[in-house]
């Protein structure tokens, strides 16, 4: 009976291994989803960043005004201007809540 329990636990861990190995780091997610607008340095000096009015994530004062919850919601649900036009696409379908939480922490490291 103990052997079956151990075997079941081991097989369960093996099933999770591909998911754990496939998990992307916050830096990888930033690079894939954020750099086209915010740039690798967070300054938002890219063509798309300037066009959309993307926030300068390297501005410590501006970023300090936003709570982690504000940044989380913006990443998950996107951002629209006063006219309802999409200024930042939502990433809630592509990133899990834990990945977004890690991305928020990574974004904070860009502020200088």
**Structural domain contains residue 13:** no
Write the pLDDT tens digit of every residue in 32-59. Answer: 999 999 999 999 999 999 998 999 999 9
3 state SS for 51-97: HHCCCCCCCHHHHHCCCHHHHHHHHHHCEECCCCCEEECCCCCCCCH
Per-residue confidence (pLDDT) for residue 16, from 0 to 100: 54
* Domain of 98, in residue numbers: 24-110
User: Which stretches in the chain have pLDDT values below 70?
Assistant: 1-22
| Residue 63 belongs to domain with CATH number | 1.10.760.10
**Structural domain contains residue 77:** yes
**Structural domain contains residue 10:** no
Domain count, the chain: 1
d(CA 75, CA 91): 6
**Structural domain contains residue 37:** yes
């Amino acid at each position: 009976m103990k052997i079956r329990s151990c075997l079941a636990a081991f097989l369960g861990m093996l099933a999770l291994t591909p998911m754990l190995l496939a998990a992307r780091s916050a830096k990888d997610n930033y690079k894939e989803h954020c750099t086209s607008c915010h740039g690798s340095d967070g300054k938002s000096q890219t063509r798309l960043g300037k066009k959309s009015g993307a926030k300068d994530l390297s501005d410590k004062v501006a970023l300090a005004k936003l709570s982690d919850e504000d940044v989380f919601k913006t990443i998950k649900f996107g951002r629209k201007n006063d006219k309802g036009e999409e200024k930042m696409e939502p990433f809630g379908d592509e990133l899990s809540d834990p990945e977004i939480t890690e991305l928020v922490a990574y974004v904070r490291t860009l502020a200088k």
